[in-house]
Every structure is written in structure tokens, then in C-alpha cells.
Structure 1
């Protein structure tokens, strides 16, 4: 099955993408403020000292279905966790879903941040060989009910799927 390995492969892909980290970390002042542009005020994140880089990664990308302390921060955060698993017509393989929730504070909405993060996740994962058997597929996406989120946050859940062996290690 190798679920831990599969989640870890996707997690590492997210952790090591400058574009995604910049979208999660830097706040835009207006719609046309390009947070992807490297400046003195917004340096390249992957070039930071490792302790500072890991502080940013840990703040924004959480490999779990539950996140804490959102109500105390203006932040964008990803939650990454396994989803449904179902058999295929092949006795030895299954389809494994992985969910990525994009949680954004309203102060990041002035440049359509949540949409940009979802687009980047699709670019990184869809139709690429990231983990498991074959290429990752984009299965679904849906708004997260705001009643389940802290005040001033919105959320969008993306579901990706990949092939997986039914066997163990």
C-alpha cells in the first residue's frame, strides 16, 4: 500500500516549490502586486537559512486533516491528508485519493490568492508522476463550508488520485 511514502512524496513536492511557498507566505497589497517576483522585501524562500525555511514550511503546509491556531493568524495554509481508497478491476491495484485543503484568510483575497494556490497545486500534481502507479489525476474540488472554519477564513478542498498497489511494504 505504501500510503506513508505516497503522502511523503506529495508533501515533499509541495515543500520544495518556490512558487507555491511564495503564494502561501507573502501577502499582496493589491490585485496586480506580484508576490512571485523576487525582491529585497520578498526574497527567494528556498534560499533562506534552513531553520527559517522550515519555520515557513511548517507554518503553511501541514500533513494532517486538522490545523490549530488559525484564528490567531492571518495566514494561508495547506492541509494534506489521505482520502478514500477503492479497488480497481485489477486485483493488485487500487486508486488512492489525497485531499489538499487550501485555507486562506480574507486579507489574502485582494489578489484572488486561494484561486492562485489551487491553480499552482493543479500545475504541480495533475498529470505528473509524483507517487504511486502512473500519473496523478485531479478528481474533484469543492468549497469548504465556512461554518467549519475560523472567522475570516475561506477554504477549498482539492482531491487528487493516483494508482497504488494493494500489497504492503
Structure 2
């Protein structure tokens, strides 16, 4: 599978994950203000009202982008390819990194949203054969510099992909 098709497949998987989209979109629960838990089944799934994908396009970006966050109070993930290295043992395979940056505005800190989004990403990706030849592995993660008012975390995943 080509790099383009591989990353289109990964993007589609994330764009269609209802739980991930709820965690990225809905604010934290606040019983005093009548705001439900983002995972409450009474809340609409994002695809029920995001017909033009405008919300999903703002929440899931397929490149590094944070310059517009200072004007917003949202959660966002950036998903993009990282290093690609020949495996050496098979000329048709390459080890491909997937980088996922998670940004959460401080308004979402009340329920440790960044960690919830990270947990959901791990559930979706780790140990699954999504694209390429092998299952996704978690390589590492760490704090990421983020715009003022945000917390950021960068995750590195890897899998073997076909060079063709």
C-alpha cells in the first residue's frame, strides 16, 4: 500500500471513531451547568450533525498545525508520518512511524481530557493491523510544547509498511 493510501486509511479510521470524536469535541461534564459527560449516550455523535466534516477537519489535522489554536479553546490531534526506514531484512518493507500530537485547551483539564484522548488513540491503534503489514506498536511519547492555554503531548507509533 502506498504511503498516501496508508495515511488515508489511518485518517479515515480516526475520523470515524465516535468515542475519539466525542472526546475531542464535547466539553467536560459540569452537573451544575447541565453539561453531560462527553461519552454520555444521550449526546449526539458528531457525524449526526457534522455533515460537511467542518468540525472533524478542525479536530483532526493531517499535518503539524498549532498556529490557529491561540484563538480557540478546543482539543485537537495532529496525525502525520514520521521517519520511514528500510527494514534491511526485506527490500519491499519499511518501518514507518506515525506521529500523533494531542493538544487540549485548559478548559478541558477538569476531566484529564488529554489522557483520555491518548488512551483512546492507544485503544484504536496499538496491536491492530490497520495499514501496512504488521500491527501498530507504541514506541514512545512525551510532553510537547503547546500554544498558551494548551497542554500538548506527542505519541510515536510504528508499523511495517510496503514500499510499493
Name the TM-score, length of structure 2 as normaliser.
0.90
Alignment of 1:129-144 (within 5 A): 129-144=129-144
Whether contact under 8 Å (1:103, 1:156) holds in the other structure is yes
Provide Cα deviations, 1:34-69, integer angstroms capped at 9, x if missing partner.
210132xx3122222522xx0110110000122331
Q: Partner residue of 1:128?
A: 128
Provide Cα deviations, 1:96-154, integer angstroms capped at 9, x if missing partner.
00100001101100000000000000000110111011211111111113xxx211111
* 1:36 and 2:35 are equivalent in the alignment: no
Q: Partner residue of 2:157?
A: 160
Name the TM-score, length of structure 1 as normaliser.
0.88
Alignment of 1:1-169 (within 5 A): 2-30=2-30, 34-39=37-42, 42-48=43-49, 50-51=51-52, 54-92=53-91, 93-145=93-145, 149-166=146-163, 168=164
Q: Which runs of 5+ in 2 are unaligned?
A: none
Q: Considering only aligned residues, what root-mean-square deviation do their CA atoms show, in Å?
A: 1.7
Count of aligned residue pairs for this structure pair: 159
Q: 2-side partners of 1:36 and 1:88: how far apart?
A: 40
Whether contact under 8 Å (2:127, 2:137) holds in the other structure is yes
Whether contact under 8 Å (2:29, 2:37) holds in the other structure is no
Q: 2-side partners of 1:66 and 1:4: how far apart?
A: 19
Moved segments of 4+, more than 6 Å: none
1:50 is paired with a residue whose SS is coil
